[in-house]
């Protein structure tokens, strides 16, 4: 039976790593960031593919922990939070995070059938899902509290934390729709000498690419 237990712990760690990567990649997609050496479509592609891989690892993580007979974890407690007599709180958080992840992924797979706003609101739940998953990972077993895995856990937290700060700071610089054209008008009229407009015209202040939505107007 311990094979299941080990498998559960191992897949749990991998799932956390994958989810961390998915979060960072998601932030990169939103800000049109690039991964060095990779084409643009790869950032979006990796974000999506790794999220599906993460779900698979979480599924195995859940199934092996249920299958392991040493502690009692009823199968439904994987999706219904706080129903497991073993480690009720921390496992419960795992279930919460799993539910959120399912919501995010299902709505993304069915994105074409949803309104833009509905998809986006659910997708933002990933910012709730990840920290809960991290707390679950850290406290549900003692693995991440010592040694290399502790360093890993902290590393993941730093990665998402730094990413979040970067994401928010960049969003704060976004220009509201009604102000965009005024900004570009000022920029193109002030720029001397004009020079040739380049494909990535980031030279002129407030110019270049589509200043991003700060908020939806609907």
Partner 1 sequence: MTATTAGAFHEGSSRAAARGDLPRLLPPVREGKRPQNLDAHLARHGGLPYRDRTGMPGNPSALVRDLEEAGLTGRGGAAFPVHRKLMAVLEAAGQRGRPPAVIANGAESEPASDKDATLLWLAPHLVLDGLQLAAEAVGADTAILVTHADRGRDVAGRLRQALQERLAARLDRVPVQLAAAPARFLAGQETALVNQLGGGPAIPTFMPPRITERGLAANPTLVQNVETLAQLALIARRGPRWFREVGTASEPGSMLATLRRADGLPRIVEIPLGTPLRDLLGDAPAGPESAVLLGGYHGRWLPAARAATLTLDNRSLEPAGARVGAGIVISLPADRCGLVETARAVRYLALESAGQCGPCLNGLPRIAAAFAELASGRPRRGTREDLERWSGLVTGRGACHHPDGTARFVRSALRTFANEVRRHERGQCSAASTAPFLPVPDGAARSEDDWM
Partner 2 sequence: MADKLLVNPIDCKGHGACAELLPEMITIDEWGYPIIDPRPLPPGMERHARKAVSACPTLALRLTRSQ
Contact set with partner 2 (CB under 8 A): 29-30, 32, 39-41, 44-45, 111-112, 116, 197-201, 208-210, 212
Q: Is the peptide bond between 193 and the residue preceding it cis, with omega within 30 degrees of 0?
A: yes
Size of the site for partner 1 (CB under 8 A): 21
By a kind-dependent CB cut-off of 5 to 8 A, residue 40 interacts, out of partner 1, partner 2, none, with partner 2
- 8 Å CB contact between 117 and 218: yes
Rounded distance between C-alpha atoms, residue 144 and residue 156, angstroms: 11
Name which of 200 and 215 has its Cβ closer to partner 2. Answer: 200
Q: Residues 194, 198, 199, 202: which binds partner 1 (CB under 8 A)?
A: 194
Q: Residues 176, 203, 205, 212: which binds partner 1 (CB under 8 A)?
A: 176
By a kind-dependent CB cut-off of 5 to 8 A, residue 113 interacts, out of partner 1, partner 2, none, with none
Q: Does 203 bind partner 1 (CB under 8 A)?
A: no
By a kind-dependent CB cut-off of 5 to 8 A, residue 148 interacts, out of partner 2, partner 1, none, with none
The SS3 assignment for 168 reads helix
Name which of 1 and 178 has its Cβ closer to partner 2. Answer: 178
Q: Which of 58, 55, 90, 56 is nearest to 71 (CA)?
A: 90
- Read off the tokens for 127: 């910012």
Helix (H) or strand (E) run with residue 96 in it: helix 88-109
CB atoms within 10 A of CB 91: 25
């Amino acid at each position: 039976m311990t094979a299941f237990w080990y498998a559960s712990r191992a897949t749990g760690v991998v799932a956390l790593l994958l989810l961390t990567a998915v979060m960072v990649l998601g932030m990169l997609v939103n800000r049109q960031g690039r991964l060095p050496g990779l084409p643009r479509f790869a950032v979006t592609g990796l974000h999506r593919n790794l999220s599906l891989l993460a779900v698979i690892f979480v599924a195995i993580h859940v199934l092996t922990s249920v299958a392991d007979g040493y502690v009692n974890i009823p199968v439904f407690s994987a999706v219904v939070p706080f129903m497991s007599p073993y480690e009720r709180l921390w496992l419960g958080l795992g279930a919460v995070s799993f539910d959120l992840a399912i919501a995010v992924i299902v709505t993304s797979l069915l994105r074409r059938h949803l309104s833009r706003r509905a998809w986006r609101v659910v997708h933002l739940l990933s910012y709730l899902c990840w920290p809960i998953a991290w707390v679950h990972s850290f406290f549900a077993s003692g693995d991440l509290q010592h040694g290399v895995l502790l360093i890993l856990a902290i590393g993941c937290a730093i990665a998402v934390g730094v990413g979040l700060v970067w994401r928010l700071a960049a969003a704060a610089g976004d220009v509201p729709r009604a102000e965009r054209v005024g900004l570009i008008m000022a920029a193109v009229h002030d720029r001397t000498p004009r020079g040739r407009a380049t494909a990535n015209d980031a030279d002129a202040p407030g110019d270049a690419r589509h200043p991003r939505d700060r908020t939806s107007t609907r």
